[in-house]
Amino acid sequence: MIKKVAILANGGDVSGFNAVIRAIMKTAMTNGIECYGYIDGYRGLVENNYIRLDGNPLASGIIAKGGSIIGSSTNAIVFHYKVEHEDGSVTYEDLSDQCVRNVKEAGFDCIFTLGGDSTQKSARDLFLKGINVIGVPKTVDNDVACTEITFGYNTAVSVATEAIDRLHTTAETHHRIMVLEVMGRFAGWIALESAISGGADVALIPEIPYDINKAAEAIKKRIARNKKFSLVVVSEGAISKDGENETYAAEGVDAKAGISVKFGGIGPKVAKQLQDLTGLEARCTVLGYMQRGGTPTAYDRVLSTKYGAKAMELAMEEKFGVLTVIQNGKLSSVPLEEVIGNNKEIGAVQGGTVDSNVRLVTLDHELVRTARDIGICLGD
């Protein structure tokens, strides 16, 4: 019988973090289980910093609230943790044994890890060291393996859709090409789905290397039909057929410690090229962190609640080392081992990289077919 659990929210914030926290906490309360939250994700685990959530006013009225009431950390990887010394030097150390001790001393029967592929890889590695973990899949990119949808994704698509609707009016009024750069490092889910829902003409995603001339041709065909404007959505990680993408080095991040490369800059580049090739004026908007912030959609609130309640149910069944997932539209769970895929070695290449088992858009996916059917140019 489990008596005491803790939640750990990790990685970039998304809308829905709090709804998951609330659902785990409420299901714990229904079953007389104490519920705690680590502060700032894996950093809290290293520093043994946690608070009681059930009965805490901080955890009240949070379903509609963006961010995470218990914070979150990016690039806090307990197997390769950045330690800053008094003399100013920095080393990366494996603090996983310290984490295991902290969990055991606190008496937590289960740790819920809310996060993307990198977070779940550390969770799997901690599970192998004897900690009971249950993962819940988060990320706006929707690229966690083994699940059809992550929490936070639907809100990101809604924000992107609204942005396209608003850009539509400027495009039409000023006869312009309006380019929207959205998130998606390795997977183009946000770009593809928001292009469909926003009625865009071109969508460029990392999975389909694009030929800018093909995009320009599609726009020129529209001009020939007297449509003197076009809407283009491009994933931050889109790659041209020459293998070019737009990235820059993340400052102060050790390559093994997480996302050492940031994406950004593809939108302005594509806008300039399309302007030169079509003769239509082009502008670019980079949507950025708007996609991750603010209140979750009703869909994300329900999905997050289902994920959180399911995670607590699994804990009560003592089914650990798993990730809650949606498969064939149904709530279920899979071993974290399956989620981590090729990225097996403890402390080796982290998630959020091409080597991790991220879920990409497949070329035969129904969204790809739908986009092609209605004439959205995918740059190929």
Task: Report the interhelical angle of 366-373 vs 189-198 (nearest 10°).
Answer: 40
Q: Helix and strand tally (H, E) in the chain?
A: 11, 15
Residues 210 and 243 sit within 8 Å (Cβ to Cβ): no
Q: Check if 141 is active-site.
A: yes
Nearest-approach distance from CB 114 to ligand F6P, in angstroms = 14
CB of 125 or CB of 236, closer to ligand F6P: 236
Nearest-approach distance from CB 358 to ligand F6P, in angstroms = 10
CB of 13 or CB of 201, closer to ligand F6P: 13
Tell me the backbone φ, ψ of residue 207, rounded to 5 degrees.
-75, -20
CB of 222 or CB of 292, closer to ligand F6P: 292
Q: In the β-sheet with 281-286, what is the strand arrangement from edge to edge? A: 202-204, 230-235, 176-182, 281-286
Chain centroid to Cα 41, Å, comes to 15
User: Token match 């969990």: residue?
Assistant: 103
Q: Say which of 13, 141, 201, 300 is annotated catalytic.
A: 141
Write out the H or E segment, with its range, that includes residue 273: helix 266-278
Nearest-approach distance from CB 246 to ligand F6P, in angstroms = 12
Nearest-approach distance from CB 263 to ligand F6P, in angstroms = 5
Which residue minimizes CB distance to ligand F6P?
183
Q: Which residues of 340-373 are buried (b: 16+ CB within 10 A; e: fewer)?
A: bbebeeeeebbbbbeebbbbebeeeeebbeebee
CB of 139 or CB of 356, closer to ligand F6P: 139
CB of 181 or CB of 201, closer to ligand F6P: 181
Contacts to ligand F6P by CB under 6 A:
12, 74, 116, 139-141, 183-185, 236, 259, 263, 292
Nearest-approach distance from CB 301 to ligand F6P, in angstroms = 20
Residues 312 and 24 sit within 8 Å (Cβ to Cβ): yes
CA distances from 103 to 125, 130, 153 (A): 14, 10, 30
Residues 340 and 349 sit within 8 Å (Cβ to Cβ): no
Nearest-approach distance from CB 250 to ligand F6P, in angstroms = 7
Sign of CA dihedral 285, 286, 292, 293: negative
> What are the residues whose beta carbons fall under 8 Å from the beta carbon of 296, sequence distance 6 or more?
15, 16, 19, 64, 66, 151, 152, 154, 155, 304
CB of 292 or CB of 301, closer to ligand F6P: 292
Residues in the chain: 380
Q: Which residues are catalytic?
A: 141
